[in-house]
Homo-oligomer: A and B are copies of this chain.
């Protein structure tokens, strides 16, 4: 790279000492106004570019936070990053973003790489299957960290997420209200904490409504659109009588809806579907998706704020934050919010 000009050059050009220039760059109130102007002008004229590596080395702080998510292709996380950037943008911190695609090795590599960069803090969506031993390095360094969306057992690191159990429960309450006698959860990795929470929410609703647990089943293995599409095919083979579908997330739901549309089955009328997340897409699917609003951007924002407060006040005793979420009724559940389309 270029950038041959450094503090000393500016100092010479402005006729002051390096220390003074440094103070100016840090916007310190110690330096006299006239001097500040002079220095800034010199810096500008010489085309100076701040060297963050040098500053970081000396001051032991990088002005960067690391963000590790599963995939930027997932609209949920895309929205989360917007919330994060809102926080760190105004704070003047850069975001180092990485995606692990739910691969534990990649995740490890990313964490190490970010620790090497001496990020001021980390926000991590743990990859599927992450256990305490996978984040040992992280815990040892005591780097300020916040987990997003997934917990890791046995690790004392605050977790920000939404109340999936409650969300799933409310969704199922609504499906039962629509007269469903069997609930099917489609998509999601069986065994993952997120999947488990959905199951728990379903059971909670069952208990409250006096339904037997046998009425619950689970189909599909991933959280992609294709998984939803395939799951719907399977369900159609099995028969849809009394079935109400809770999708792992909106993406899965949209895949299932596509499959039903294609087969000429009227979603909402013949089979109700409820999603989770309330991604932008949910409004545009037809029929529009009834879903659990989880406010991904809000989650990002909250996670960012939490990390900041840990960094700044070392609130290491800070507890988990679970954001409330609520049912957004559109059409895929069968509630007739709009006149039926003609088709």
Separation of A341 and B264 alpha carbons in the complex (Å): 8
Max count, chain B CB within 10 A of own CB: residue among A60, A72, A99: A72
Interface window among A44-52, A168-176, A190-198 = A44-52
Contact of A52 among B1, B94, B109, B118 (CB under 8 A): B118
In contact, B52 and A54 (Cβ under 8 angstroms): no
Separation of A261 and B53 alpha carbons in the complex (Å): 55
Report chain B residues within 8 Å CB of A341.
262-264
A97 at interface, CB cutoff 8 A: yes
- CB-contacts of A267-286 with B (<8 A): 280-281, 284-286
Selected A-B contacts with CB under 8 Å, 25 pairs? A1-B119, A2-B140, A2-B143, A47-B137, A47-B141, A51-B118, A52-B53, A52-B117, A52-B118, A53-B53, A53-B62, A54-B57, A73-B75, A73-B82, A78-B78, A81-B99, A89-B106, A89-B109, A94-B98, A94-B117, A96-B97, A225-B280, A254-B284, A263-B341, A264-B342
Closest to A226 in B: B284
- CB-contacts of A77-115 with B (<8 A): 78-79, 81-82, 85, 89, 94-99, 106, 109, 112-115
In contact, A229 and B118 (Cβ under 8 angstroms): no
In contact, A95 and B95 (Cβ under 8 angstroms): no
Report chain B residues within 8 Å CB of A85.
99
Max count, chain B CB within 10 A of own CB: residue among A49, A73, A119: A73
Report chain B residues within 8 Å CB of A225.
280-281, 284
Report the minimal beta-carbon distance from A221 to chain B, rounded to whole angstroms. Answer: 18
- CB-contacts of A180-207 with B (<8 A): none
A250 at interface, CB cutoff 8 A: no
Report chain B residues within 8 Å CB of A137.
47, 49
In contact, B51 and A116 (Cβ under 8 angstroms): yes
A161 at interface, CB cutoff 8 A: no
A3 at interface, CB cutoff 8 A: yes
Report chain B residues within 8 Å CB of A285.
258
In contact, A118 and B264 (Cβ under 8 angstroms): no
Report chain B residues within 8 Å CB of A71.
78
Report chain B residues within 8 Å CB of A113.
94
Report chain B residues within 8 Å CB of A229.
284
Report chain B residues within 8 Å CB of A254.
284
A317 at interface, CB cutoff 8 A: no
